[in-house]
Amino acid sequence: MPGVIIRGTGSYLPEAVLTNRDLSMMVDTSDEWIVTRTGIKERRIAPAGSAASDLGAAAARRACEAAGVEPGDLDLIVCATISGDQPYPSTACHIAARLGIPAIPAFDIQAACSGFLYALEVSRHLLKAGPYRRVLVVASECMSRLTDYTDRSSCVLLGDGAGAAVLERTETDGCGVLDCYLMADGRQAEILHLPAGGSRAQPSFETVERRLHFMRMEGGTLFRLAIEAMTEAGRILLERNGMTRDDLALVIPHQANMRIITAVARSLGVPMRKVFVNIAQYGNMSAACSAVALDEAVRSGAIAGGDLVLMVAFGAGLTWAGCLLRWQT
């Protein structure tokens, strides 16, 4: 059976930094509250006029470079985003154009913060089944565009960024993307959503006036569910692959809140020294969190050849997911 490896990763974070101090001048909050309740110190903001495909293409170029391939060598582009350039066409199509690829299959996946892991799983199966041999998976988000900067309970959390990975089919057994777990429960869609702009509530003066084009969330409920869901994904993946937490070299959790990350580590029984954390610098970048964290872990040497890595994520949908990787030597 052919397997699937991650040949190279890349990421791109816009230069502009929005600090807790900046936010404290916009809403009634403080650096102390944000750091103690979330662990976030700053986040990046994409420049006006730019969009998810600009960030995504920059991350993709870096992933191709790391993989030693040209954009023209790719067979398929899959992009995970909830803050794409526009409702349609897909951000994946825009990324293909920005990479200078005139003809390639390309589509988006919408699974919110779990999107990168959903995209990995879909791409893994397309690679295994053929005819694709090399897939570019991108997760790119401009969450600042969906953020209500008058709502202190959500605006402190979100940021912009993009990550990418080049996946390839391999004949080598036991390495690469070993297994993924995907789950969703649409019954609780309303606890994290963007109320208007779709076919249920099309844009109108009223939707703009009522600020319905910004994301809404029930933070407390999400907090509890995020811990349960990411723990579930991790436990199931370890169990069904006959592995234990002691086999793990690194856990890369979705970066929504530092307290969620430590609670997930605790319930999985993994020490924090084995948990990758970059939330202080970037906040929650939805699907891009997992992709950026994976790239930073690889580039910083936090992941070495032969390491078993567990990624877990949770977000709107509700969706949650996990991925077990054996990093190739």
Q: Which residues does the annotation mark as catalytic? A: 113, 254, 284
Residue 139, classed as helix, strand or coil, is strand
Q: Find the binder of ligand UT7 among 81, 257, 281, 319 (CB under 6 A).
A: 257
Q: Find the binder of ligand UT7 among 19, 33, 73, 201 (CB under 6 A).
A: 33
Q: How far is CA 85 from the centre of its chain?
A: 17
Is residue 222 a contact residue for ligand UT7 (CB under 6 A)?
yes
CB 312 within 8 A of CB 230: yes
DSSP 9: E
Q: Strands 106-109, 76-80: parallel, antiparallel or unpaired by DSSP? A: parallel
| Alpha-helical segments (H) within the chain | 20-24, 31-38, 52-67, 91-98, 115-129, 152-155, 205-209, 219-240, 258-268, 279-282, 288-300
Q: Which residues of 207-238 are buried (b: 16+ CB within 10 A; e: fewer)?
A: eeeeebbbbbbeeeebeebbbebbbbbbbebb
Segment interacting with ligand UT7 (CB under 6 A) among 26-34, 98-106, 236-244, 245-253: 26-34
- Closest approach, Cβ 28 to ligand UT7, in A, equals 7
Q: Find the binder of ligand UT7 among 128, 134, 152, 274 (CB under 6 A).
A: 152
CB 110 within 8 A of CB 124: no
- Helix pair 288-300, 115-129: axis angle to 10 deg: 80
Q: Find the binder of ligand UT7 among 256, 261, 263, 294 (CB under 6 A).
A: 256
Is residue 122 a contact residue for ligand UT7 (CB under 6 A)?
no
Q: Find the binder of ligand UT7 among 2, 89, 195, 219 (CB under 6 A).
A: 219
What's the rounded Cα separation, in Å, for the pair 42 and 19?
4
Give the nearer residue to ligand UT7 in terms of CB position, either 175 or 227.
227
Site for ligand UT7 in 154-183 (CB under 6 A): 156
Number of residues that bind ligand UT7 (CB under 6 A): 20
Give the nearer residue to ligand UT7 in terms of CB position, either 90 or 255.
255
Surface-to-core class of residue 19, CB atoms within 10 Å of its CB (0-12 exposed, 13-18 middle, 19+ buried) = middle
Is residue 192 a contact residue for ligand UT7 (CB under 6 A)?
yes
Is residue 105 a contact residue for ligand UT7 (CB under 6 A)?
no
Is residue 315 a contact residue for ligand UT7 (CB under 6 A)?
yes
Q: Find the binder of ligand UT7 among 17, 73, 223, 274 (CB under 6 A).
A: 223
Is residue 226 a contact residue for ligand UT7 (CB under 6 A)?
yes
CB 255 within 8 A of CB 284: yes
**What residues line the site for ligand UT7 (CB under 6 A)?**
29, 33-34, 37-38, 113, 152-153, 156, 192, 217, 219-220, 222-223, 226, 256-257, 284, 315
